[in-house]
A and B are shown apart, each in its own frame.
Chain A
């Protein structure tokens, strides 16, 4: 068990470009979450998967954002036509479906210039 892995750790992109982040959860965890955190704020929920099914999406997840979890394993979060307001830390977390607590990855820091 190597924990939740996120790649890349840092991403700098120009406004208008598309970016994709990857999250590899703990292998036996069936729920996977994406959160976004801006400076000085707590993380805010974006979306979550139960195995390969995307069960809930926040209003924060505009139509420029899309997330997938093919085969219920790793997940990707894509942002199209990035804007400066998308600059944030994107965090991934997984749990095993029972309320035993969330395990978070180290996050991907996105900077849109």
Chain B
């Protein structure tokens, strides 16, 4: 059974810092991995999608990497801003039928 773990559960940083959020999964047979952002009480916003054949994806200040063989993905946020404060969720699409999510990392960026 696929399990997705996100570390750390919570992170507080001052504005301007570069930071890394970690995601690990137990079964490397995945179709793709997706990172989402969730603001309190809101739905999910897709940030980056990495296909199983890809190693990384970039969007603005965000860079996500994928190492299928080791079952790991990282989300790198450069020059963090208070507006980046949210919960970041990692999800794997294993069989093309449903996403399996981690519990998320709650990020707080102080000005």
- Point out residues on A near B: beta carbons under 8 Å: 6, 33, 35, 40-45, 48, 55-56, 58, 89, 91, 93, 99-107, 109
Contact = CB atoms under 8 A, between A and B. Distances in A.
Contact of A104 (B32, B44, B98): B44
Contacts, number: 59
Interface of B: 4, 31-32, 34, 36, 41-46, 49, 51, 89, 91, 93, 96-104
Most chain A CB atoms below 10 A, which of B4, B32, B46 = B46
Nearest to B45: A104
A55 B89 contact: no
Contact of A45 (B34, B42, B100, B104): B100
Contact of A100 (B44, B45, B49, B99): B49
Most chain A CB atoms below 10 A, which of B43, B91, B98 = B43
A42 B103 contact: yes
| SS of B interface (majority) | strand
Contacts of B97: 48, 55-56
A104 B35 CA distance: 12
Nearest to B91: A42
B99 to A, nearest CB: 6
The 6 lowest CB-CB distance pairs between A and B, nearest first, are A42-B101, A45-B98, A106-B43, A104-B44, A101-B49, A107-B43
Most chain A CB atoms below 10 A, which of B51, B89, B97, B103 = B97
Nearest to B103: A42
B56 to A, nearest CB: 16
